[in-house]
Amino acid sequence: MIAYHSLQFAVFFLVVFVLYYTIPKKAQWWLLLAASVYFYWTASGALILWLLVSAGLVWSAGLGLERIAADGSARIKAGKGVLSKEEKTKIKETVKSKKKAVLLATLLFVVGILLVLKYANFFGSNINKVLQVAGISAGIPTFSFVLPLGISYYTLQAVGYLLDIYYNRYGAERNPVKIMLFLMYFPHIMQGPISKYNELSEHLFAPHKADHDQIMFGFQRVLWGCMKKLIIADRAAIFVNEVFGAYGKHGGLAIFIANLLYILQIYAEFSGCMDIIGGASQALGIPLVENFERPFFSKSVAEFWRRWHVSLGRWLRDYVFYPLNMSKSLMRLGKKCRMAIPGQLGKCFSLYIAMLVLWFVTGFWHGASWKYVVYGLYYGMIIIMGMQLEPTYQHIVEKLKINTSCRGWKLWQMLRTFFAVFIGMLLFRAESLKTAAKMVLTMVTQLQVCKLLDGSLLTLGLNYADFIILGMGTLIMFVVSLLQEKAIRIRRLLADQALWLRWLVYLTALFVLLVYGAYGHGYDASDFIYGQF
């Protein structure tokens, strides 16, 4: 597999980049397809067949859905003035049911592949446990499927495309090869972002002239992403892996710092990866949807999730939450609850149900275990509790005459959100729920702050100099985020500077990355965490 932060990817991308701007513009997207097939093939070999089958199926289902709708409209149009209202309704219902059948059959297959390959063992082991309780010993065997690269991402994109066609949001694509490229476009195949077909295709298949600014900004962003990944994330990972790998050996302080570093690691790594691929795609003239919007400035958990893994949140909102929340059954339930249950709970009950489903799916998407389900529901419950207690909270704030527009209050909200994320990330990183609970307990009961000074923290993989580099890297990342938060366009700002200053910045960044990056010998450079999804 070619990791996005590797020299191999750099060479691969530079070859694609040079060819992209030298071949005829009409052939550019064919080159991207060839590059994507090569990229996918090197990582997954023959497993590419799963993706091709999904692409073929989604393409034909898209056309089928469109044809069914067009046939229905044509029949109604042809029968204008002849057909009765009932007959028109009947045609519409027939169209709807046919579309639903095509949609469900396709979803069953496309999502089914994901469910079988990724979740079969989870379902199997749980069914076995239930059977065991019932006294039945015949068990479902354990499978050892190899997951095709990016299956969790391309499946969501495929489902999104199908649902958009189903809801008539845009027309179906006639060219199956374009669907193939949409699903397997090499910058987003491994870790997203999860793109929508109508947004991406606009740029993906359009001819692109080399644009100096776009190319410069793209490469700058790639460099910035590599710095986040190699200087911060991979360095933090050394300490994190050491402590999480043997949490029993270390006191509460080490666990506390390891979890802080894990949050730093996962953010620098995931957002760094998005910078690398986003920058690479930008250099090709193809903008990708943003996946991170400085989530640690969030003042609530709900806001955090609107800023963290944005494209996943958007997908779940558009294709899980909205359809569910607007479904007839939940609407009916909501109506009943509003009348039967007084107050906030009655008002929001159906919404809470939809949210619980949403967060269940969020957790489950992250991994095939109960730990991830709890991880998702944990955030769901915090958001629901927040909504439920909002009136009480507002009342207290008013009574205490707290100035909610002051910086201190906003900082408190950010810290409160960070604390919730701190626990969430611990759940995510810990081996199991039990381990997470033990680690929290150790933090609470054996914090041992004195270890901060006795040098024991320097025996966990990172020395003093590493901590300095990590600290400086984090500080720079924070300052950059702060400037971005204030809507200052750093790359534009840099582009307006004199050539010598720009080059000084680029060269310094490049050589700082080469020297201080935690890659190669002496460091256990890891693949991107989100690459396994």
Partner 1 sequence: MNKKKWGIAGKIVVFLLIVMVGIHVLNCLFIPKWTLPEDNRITSIIEGFYEEPENSLDIIFLGNSDVYRGVSPIYLWREYGYASYVRSTPGQKLWVSYYQLLETLKYQTPKLVVFAVDSLFNEEHSGEGNYRKTFDPMRLSAVKIQAILDPVFEFDFDTKSSYLFPFIRYHSRWNQLTEEDISFYSRDDKHFPHKGMDMSGDIKPYEGGYSYMEDRGETVAIGERAGKYMELIIELCREKGMQLLFVEIPSTDSWTLAKSQATTVYAQEKGIPFIDLNLATEDFGFDWLLHTSDNGDHLNVWGAEVVTSYLGRYLSENYELPDHRGEASYSRWEEDTLIYEADKTALELVYK
Alpha carbon distance 118, 145 (integer Å): 8
Q: Which of 19-27, 257-265, 396-404, 517-525 is the region at the interface with partner 1 (rule: CB under 8 A)? A: 517-525
Six-digit token string for 128: 């076995």
Which string of x and - marks every residue 205-244 that binds partner 1 (by CB under 8 A)? -------x--------------------------------
Which stretches within 367-406 are classed as H helix? 370-399
Which string of x and - marks every residue 193-212 that binds partner 1 (by CB under 8 A)? -------------------x
Using CB under 8 A as the binding rule, whether residue 385 contacts partner 1 is answered as no
Q: Which is nearer to partner 1, 6 or 344 (CB)?
A: 6
Alpha carbon distance 185, 277 (integer Å): 11
Which string of x and - marks every residue 266-285 that binds partner 1 (by CB under 8 A)? --------------------
Q: Which is nearer to partner 1, 202 or 524 (CB)?
A: 524
Alpha carbon distance 195, 198 (integer Å): 9
**Shortest CB 150 distance to partner 1, Å:** 22
Using CB under 8 A as the binding rule, whether residue 134 contacts partner 1 is answered as no
Bond prior to 287 in cis (omega within 30° of 0): no
Alpha carbon distance 422, 209 (integer Å): 45
Residue 518 region, left (φ>0) first, then alpha (ψ -120 to 50), else beta?
A: beta
Burial 124-142 (b: 16+ CB within 10 A, else e): eeeebeeeeeeeeeeeeee
Using CB under 8 A as the binding rule, whether residue 511 contacts partner 1 is answered as yes
Q: Which of 132-140, 141-149, 184-192, 498-506 is the region at the interface with partner 1 (rule: CB under 8 A)? A: 498-506
Q: Which is nearer to partner 1, 393 or 464 (CB)?
A: 464
Q: Which is nearer to partner 1, 211 or 303 (CB)?
A: 211
For the four alpha carbons of 182, 185, 190 and 193, in that order, the dihedral sign comes to negative
**Shortest CB 511 distance to partner 1, Å:** 6
Q: Are 222 and 283 in contact (CB under 8 A)?
A: yes
Six-digit token string for 77: 């149009």
Alpha carbon distance 346, 431 (integer Å): 38
Which string of x and - marks every residue 462-481 that binds partner 1 (by CB under 8 A)? -x-x----------------
Q: Which is nearer to partner 1, 87 or 524 (CB)?
A: 524
Using CB under 8 A as the binding rule, whether residue 521 contacts partner 1 is answered as yes
Alpha carbon distance 405, 397 (integer Å): 12
| Maximal CA-CA distance, the chain | 90
Using CB under 8 A as the binding rule, whether residue 119 contacts partner 1 is answered as no
Question: What phi and psi values does residue 211 have, to the nearest 5 degrees?
Answer: -110, 115
Q: Which is nearer to partner 1, 322 or 503 (CB)?
A: 503
**Shortest CB 15 distance to partner 1, Å:** 14
Which of 160, 218, 473, 517 touches partner 1 (CB under 8 A)? 517
Which of 87, 419, 507, 532 touches partner 1 (CB under 8 A)? 507
Q: Which residues lie near partner 1 (CB under 8 A)?
A: 6-8, 212, 463, 465, 499, 503, 506-507, 510-511, 514-523
